[in-house]
Structures are given as C-alpha cells and as structure tokens.
Amino acid sequence: MFSVRVFWKTISFQTEKLPTCRWWLLCSRDCHSASGPCLGANELKGARNNQVTKRKRERSSCGPVLDLFDQQYREELGKLWLSARSVLLDPHCWQYGVMLNRFTAVTDVTQILQSQGFSRLLTAPPTPVSHLEYQAGKDSLLSAHCSTTCRADDSCPQSDSSSHPLPSERLHSLPHHSLQCYIHPRPLRLPSQVHRPGQLKQYYLLNAASLLPVLALQVKDGEKVLDLCSAPGGKALAIMQCATPALLCCNEPDPHRRDWLAKTLESFLPHSLNSTVIVSAQDGRFFGQSEASTFDKVLVDAPCSNDRSWLYSCSSQQGEQRLKERARLPALQVQLLQSALSAVRPGGLVVYSTCTLSSSENYAVVERVLKDFPEAIPEDLWEEIAVPLSKNFTFTSANPGHGQTSLEFSLQQQNNVISSYRHRFGILVVPQPGKTWGPMFLSRIRKKK
Ligand SMILES: C[S@@+](CC[C@H](N)C(=O)[O-])C[C@H]1O[C@@H](n2cnc3c(N)ncnc32)[C@H](O)[C@@H]1O
C-alpha cells in the first residue's frame, strides 16, 4: 500500500574509532548548528565543579539576515524581539536538552545528569497549586524575564521553579510518561555520542522546544503516524519515546538528509522496530494524493527559514541567497500542510511546526490553509501546552500586526487576558535569556469526522 522502502535496515556507514575512554568523556564535532559550551570529562564527573569549556572558534552573525530580522521581528514581536535577539546572537548562552533513549539502559546517564543539576522536563509538581499560584504562572507567559545578554560562565538566570508553580492536572494531560528529556538552567551541553555498530545511543541532544510539536501530536500506541518532513529524525525519535505506533512513516525527499535520517534511526531504535518505522522518499506535497485519509496523525515539521542557523550563514552572499529563498517558503509550506490534511483520516490530527519566528511562515500559512479546508478545525494549544509549560518556555501567540486588530490587542493588554482568537492558529516559543529554547511555532488541526 505504501510506496516506501525499508531504508535504514540495510544502510551502512563509516564510524569513528572510539578511544579507550568512556563515551561520555568525548566532545562532539558534529553537534548543534552553532558553537556552544560543551561538558567535558571533568564537568561530567563533577571534578571541576560545573565549569564550562567554551569552544575556541567564535562565529559571527550574517549582516543581511540580521538586518531583515531586525526589521521584521521588531514589528511582529515588539520588545520580545530585543531579548530574543540577544539570545540568538550569543550561542554561548544556548541551552541543550538531553532526550534519553528508552530502548537502551540509561541509569548511568541519568545519574550523571542529576548530579550535574539537570532536571526532568514534563514532571508534574507533587503538590496541587492554589489558584493564585496558577494565575502567576499564566501571567508570566508573555513576559521577557531578563533584558540582558546572558553569558556561558554564570550570568544566565536560573529558572525558578518555586516562583511559578504549575497546574499539575494540566501537566498530567500531556502524553509524556515515557518521554524523558533533561534540561539545565545554564547552557551546559553533553557531548554527542558517536555511532557504534550494534550499540544503541543513550541520548539525543536537542532544542527542548522541538518536543512540543510531538507532545501536541498526542501519538498513542497502535496508531499510524506520518512524519512528512523527517530528516534528521529528532522528532521521529521523540515520537518513538512517547508511544509505540503501529506504523511510523518517516518521509524525506532529499537523499543526503535521508541518509542522515536513516543513520539516526539505526543509532537509536532496536531492530525489532524495523517493520514499524519505515523511511520513504516522496515529495511531501504529493503524499496526500497517494495516501489519502490513511494516517491517524501527521506531523509537518516544515522546511523553513531556520532563524538560528540562517543568522550564522557563512557569508553575506549565502545569507542573501537564503533571504531570496525565504520568499518562496510559504507557498511550499501551504502545499505541505494541505497534503498532510489530505493524508490524515477524518477525526485525525495534523501538527504543523517550524523553527522560525516569521509570522508569514507560521500563522499566515495555517490561516491560508484553513480557508480552503472547511473540514479542518484548529485546536487551542494555549491551555494544553503553553500554560503548563510556561515555567520552561516563553510563549506568545500573535502580534498587533497579524491576525488581530490593534483594538483587540490593546483590549487584551488592558485586561491582561489572552483571547482565544489570539492563539487560534498556533503558539510560538520565543527564545529568552535563561529560557533559550526555540524559535518553535506549533499549530494543531483536527480533520472533522
Ligand atoms: C525542519 S526539517 C525537519 C526536521 C525533522 N523533523 C527533525 O525533527 O529532525 C525540514 C525537512 O523537510 C525536508 N523537505 C524539504 N522539502 C520537502 C518536501 N517537498 N517534502 C517533504 N520534505 C521536504 C527538508 O529536506 C528537511 O529535511
């Protein structure tokens, strides 16, 4: 029925020869897209008391990209852009999430993480909270917590878990029982693990905001799931940490990125899942035609102007080229989301996500698709995701210039109320000092039965 190939079963690739030291003493050479401090052996063992090693090579931002972001995001995000900008321009400040792999033993990693002050994301507080405390958490959602640029050494503010307790009943509604992700209030980064044939990796490093689209998808055991734009596979892995679907189809048309995806899957998932997790190579825009109404859940983690990495384009020329491509992205994103809505069964869910702050690739894409799809109903993620997770992430949902009138906006400001209209099309995680996660936009749409 599916035009897919079980790709990752057969793939072979070069592996680095491991030195004799234990894996966690290594620092990665292929880790995240920009430089950041890396936890070395002594830090992990606690011997040097949490010191952070800065990477030697500094990277500078790309002028044309920054100019455009300044122009666009100042208008779209107001003051929130100034503090987001300070984070994006300071990679030493970036935090890294550690998603554990439930298909391998992780006790040693967990112990190390805990001893270094990492804590588990998505753990509900043990005691119920009062209405006032709940309101305090809610009201903090849109506030930028610090306007100064944080440094890797010591000045990033620590998230204060006691000041904004969260409604435990809401956290319990998130499907996170088996998904284990550890985060640290400071920008400590575990080294990436190298691939070793026959051995599964214990953890995957990620921007913790990448987990939110997966949580919004609410995958349950036995469901058929499509990850339409899958490489390098971080969200596919997260789906497999949350549940055991009957099928997870990971689609990626770019051959190089598909190799990377296959390598990720092979490094983290046991052979017993080879017939459950499959890789396909279609152009996602046509999936809806070839597999109409087939899947229970579809994730569209769309190609987008990836703000973090585009800001560090290696030359002005590359930056300018990317900005030209940027204008073409919304049309592709609209087609991918339309295709996803065709591929999902009536009653099923589609989550659309990007890692850009740009409203034309976020709210505007969703709004455009909904116009032509009367059977598609946008769902409110504010109460389900933004409110319970406001301790860890800074969320916003729209801006004066897009999707609402300025009158509505000023009324909301006066009343300190977030109207349901404001977050109808999705929620946006904006990186802020001390909570540097994001950018990440997510929107959930249900197809009517
Ligand atoms: C943001 S990345 C996906 C990241 C991935 N979901 C993860 O969590 O690791 C977007 C991906 O979409 C792929 N892509 C680009 N055009 C596409 C198309 N027409 N159909 C499907 N995927 C496409 C890109 O090659 C890229 O790998």
Atom of ligand 1 nearest to the CA of 227: 6
Other Cβ atoms less than 10 A from the Cβ of 329: the count is: 19
Q: Once rounded to an integer, what is the mean pLDDT over residues 259-276?
A: 97
Percent of the chain at pLDDT above 70? 69
pLDDT for res 397:
76
In a domain, 27, yes or no: no
Residue 180 CA to residue 120 CA, distance in Å, equals 7
Q: Once rounded to an integer, what is the mean pLDDT over residues 334-348?
A: 98
Are residues 41 and 21 in contact, defined by beta-carbon separation less than 8 angstroms? Answer: yes
Name the pairing type of β-strands 344-354 and 376-379: unpaired
Residue 364 CA to residue 352 CA, distance in Å, equals 12
Comparing C-alpha atoms, which of 74, 57, 88, 36 is closest to residue 310? 88
Give the chain's domain count: 1
Angle at 287 between CA 282 and CA 290, to 5 degrees: 105
Which CATH number is 42's domain given? 3.40.50.150
Q: How far is CA 439 from CA 104, 209, 393, in A?
A: 30, 8, 10
Mean pLDDT of all residues in the chain? Answer: 78
Q: Once rounded to an integer, what is the mean pLDDT over residues 325-329?
A: 94
Percent of the chain at pLDDT above 90? 63
User: Does residue 131 have a pLDDT over 50?
Assistant: no
In a domain, 381, yes or no: yes
In a domain, 437, yes or no: yes
Query: What digits encode the pLDDT tens for the residues 106-116?
Result: 999 999 999 99
Between 249 and 170, where is the model more confident? Answer: 249
Query: What digits encode the pLDDT tens for the residues 399-445?
Result: 544 444 333 344 444 443 344 455 789 999 999 999 999 999 999 99
User: 99: Cβ below 6 Å to ligand 1?
Assistant: no
Query: Using CA positions, which residue lies closest to atom 16 of ligand 1?
Result: 303
Q: Residue 301 annotated as binding?
A: yes
Residue 392 CA to residue 386 CA, distance in Å, equals 10
Query: What digits encode the pLDDT tens for the residues 175-194?
Result: 556 899 999 999 999 999 98
Helix axes 255-268, 234-242, angle to 10 degrees: 30
In a domain, 112, yes or no: yes
Q: Residue 234 annotated as binding?
A: yes
User: Does residue 55 have a pLDDT over 90?
Assistant: no
Q: Counting every residue, how long is the chain?
A: 449
In a domain, 398, yes or no: yes
User: Does residue 5 have a pLDDT over 50?
Assistant: no
Q: Residue 231 annotated as binding?
A: yes
Q: Residue 43 annotated as binding?
A: no
Query: Using CA positions, which residue lies closest to atom 1 of ligand 1?
Result: 303
Whether residue 93 lies in the annotated active site: no
Query: Using CA positions, which residue lies closest to atom 25 of ligand 1?
Result: 254
Range of the domain at 269: 34-447
User: 344: Cβ below 6 Å to ligand 1?
Assistant: no
In a domain, 302, yes or no: yes
Atom of ligand 1 nearest to the CA of 306: 1
Are residues 161 and 117 in contact, defined by beta-carbon separation less than 8 angstroms? Answer: no
Mutate to test the pocket of ligand 1, among 252, 291, 332 (most ligand atoms within 8 A of CB): 252
pLDDT for res 171:
52
In a domain, 279, yes or no: yes
Comparing C-alpha atoms, which of 128, 225, 216 is closest to residue 174? 216
Query: What digits encode the pLDDT tens for the residues 76-97?
Result: 999 999 999 999 999 999 999 9
Query: Using CA positions, which residue lies closest to atom 21 of ligand 1?
Result: 284
Residue 210 CA to residue 429 CA, distance in Å, equals 10
Mutate to test the pocket of ligand 1, among 3, 217, 229, 251 (most ligand atoms within 8 A of CB): 229
> Which tokens sit at 81?
């852009």
Query: What digits encode the pLDDT tens for the residues 142-165?
Result: 333 322 233 333 333 333 333 333
pLDDT for res 150:
33
In a domain, 13, yes or no: no
Residue 137 CA to residue 101 CA, distance in Å, equals 30
